[in-house]
Structure 1
Amino acid sequence: MKLQDSVVFITGANRGLGLAFAQAALAAGARKVYAAARNPASITLPGVVPIALDVTDAAQVAAAARDCGDVTLLINNAGISLGSDLLSPNSVEKARAEFETNFFGVWALAAAFAPVLKANGGGAIVNVLSALAWATFPSVATYSTSKAAAWSLSNGLRNELREQGTQVTSLHVGYMDTDMTDGIDAPKSAPADVARVTLEGVEAGLFEVLADDVSRGVKASLSSATPAYAG
């Protein structure tokens, strides 16, 4: 699909990668950008339409799809990481919270907007995943499981939406310079670069965007004798 004259709906658009997506979509010629966040007052980017949306709230998801019937590109960006391993006393509670946003939220938005995209010619969905969909380490283990599930979800949605002409693109990226990685001492990608590369991938019809060296390295390791997920 083309970004020129598109109508883009972005979750978690008030900061970080979501804000970068909104800026990149406007720069690419989008006709309208819906910027969704739990608190629409936190949306300060000129030229976008603020939308109140908690992706874990079924009523708000339904309202967004009903009220934004001109969308041609859905970007499922909203995500949380609570920093938990698998065997700590509260890991199950943290995992449930992460799954509600990172997996069930993505699923709910895709299901709600699928008829909208179909009515508008097919369009596309971008699901923001992670290199951690393919690998894990203790301090983000529950987050990794949610992103692994979201990767499988993306692949399933791609199969089921193909007939209506909807493209599904998965974004995998390592560390980005956002609030989520604050305090982590590692090379980080700029959100603006990740957003730009991802939208270029959408226009090119890619089913997957590997936005940085980390995601490319992890993906390349999967068929090797020492895959990243083996630790």
Structure 2
Amino acid sequence: MTAEPDPQQSTAPTVETADALLRPVRLGNAFEDTVGRLLETIRLGVLAPGESLPPERELAARLGVSRDTVREAIKSLADAGYLVSRRGRYGGTFLSEQLPRHTTEAARPSREEIDDALRLREILEVGAARMAAGRTLSAAERDGLFSRLADVREASPDDYRRLDSRLHLAIAEAAGSPSLVPLVAENRMRLNALLDQIPLLARNIAHSDEQHEAIVIAILAGDADGAAEAMLAHVAGSAALLHGFLD
């Protein structure tokens, strides 16, 4: 996708800075982490408006992911208005001249606020998944999880956050502790307020659907460790995007 840059203009980040930021990602959330690393490079000013990204093959090597993952991340950021593609001898993928505003006018959260919401989510929801898998669920509880899972997979973009929240609340209910549900609900309100400030990326939604299925299957199979591991990976993917867009 990226051709040779104009020899009259240096468009690549310095080697030292690029090496520090464009480091290998966690393969469990390769897409989300790739988006996060690229956003980190953009938001810290390593690339100036109008400058080009390194070639796809170089990004893939530095991040330790496939070129397909890099291509999907670049496309998602282009769709969100952060990058533009140009054809021709000096074509390639470039940082937009003007970065997009966040999708809402809400006050910009601090890194500490984001971290607090995400850490609490990890404590509550990873624990909920583990506890749910350790219980003998009723037929109604099992059917409820399947139903909520199906709802999220079929959700329209406008309804995704609501149905995603319902699935996570159903997992909290399946943990068997009534006191847990309002805590998860309150934390989801905080998370959704943050998520509403970033673009809804199609590839991330597809990946989240896969992770949701892995979580529910592990719970229904009574695999407590597998359910906790799958939920932890799911939480980490959201964290990568939130920090990437909002830090």
TM range (shorter): under 0.3
The structure having more radius of gyration, on CA atoms, is 2
After TM superposition, the score normalised by the length of structure 2 is 0.23
Q: Which has the higher strand share?
A: 1
After TM superposition, the score normalised by the length of structure 1 is 0.24
Q: Which has the higher helix share?
A: 2
Choose between structure 1 and 2 for higher RCO, CA contacts under 8 A separated by at least 6 residues.
2
